[in-house]
Amino acid sequence: MVRTVGFYTLSLVRGLGDFALFTAESFRSVIGSRKLAHRVMRAAFEQGVRCLPVILIVGVFTGLVLGLQGYHVLNRFGSESLLGALVSLSLVRELGPVLAALMLVGQAGSALAAELGIQRNSEQIAALETMGVSSHGYLVTPRLLAALVVYPMQTALFVSIGLFGGWLSGSILLGLEPGVYWSSVERAVEPDDVMECFIKAAVFGLLTVALCCYYGFNAHRCKSATGARAVSASTTRAVVLSCVVVLAADYAITSFLM
């Protein structure tokens, strides 16, 4: 038992060290990277524009459900006027950054891990390194820099459309006065709440994109499979671990900031 615990502990520490070195090397590659702005814009398009439909759809339905459930809960205590505060604080503090990050991981993160895994298996990454091109700077760095901008922007859009969905449920469907809803939103949300939302979004973006890049970049190290199966296994592992990391980081940041 002691040998087994020691083996898994050493494997965990080794994996965390490899991931930290991988991320540090990716940020170090910013220096001297050519045409970085063009690649960052392309990565922002992949993470941002292509994920807009899922962000909009999930955001509006999240707001609709929050408005519906919140109204009936508050109605028991005669506090329907606080619906705007309930919806806005739920979205800004927790649901907005978490759900937006999970949706981006499911679409952009999985595609990113699979793309890098295929490039590794087809030896495109090895070809870059043979030509003296930094594979981290060319493939990973632009995605990390784009995530620091795209994730907060997508989260802001998610929260905005979620507030609109809460207004649809509370005011249009259930008869709450629109002015009461929006004034409650205005009174409830403070600058510190918005700052916390953006901090969470940036941290989630950095962690999830770095994890997806790491597992895709190292798909050839997969011990359980080779070839196409290794790409599939690495992509699945990257998405699942990214979702767990988002929830764990959300708890850690919330505990630190509260």
For residue 71, the one-letter residue type is Y
What is the number of other CB atoms lying within 10 angstroms of the CB of residue 217? Answer: 22
Closest CA to 215 of 23, 36, 6: 23
pLDDT more than 90, % of the chain:
52
Separation CA 75–CA 69 (nearest Å): 10
Residues 209-227 pLDDT 10s: 999 999 988 887 776 667 7
pLDDT band (50, 70, 90) for residue 156? very high
Average pLDDT estimate for 160-174: 91
Predicted local confidence at residue 128, as pLDDT: 83
Q: Does position 150 have pLDDT exceeding 80, yes or no? A: yes
- Please, are residues 188 and 70 in contact by the beta-carbon 8 Å criterion? no
Average pLDDT over residues 166-185: 89
Q: Tell me what the mean pLDDT of segment 100-107 comes to.
A: 93
Model confidence pLDDT, tens digit, residues 68-87: 999 988 888 888 889 999 99
d(Cα 48, Cα 59) in Å, to the nearest integer?
15
Place of tokens 């091109």: 133
Spacing of C-alpha 45 from chain mean position:
15
Residue 58 pLDDT greater than 90, yes or no: yes
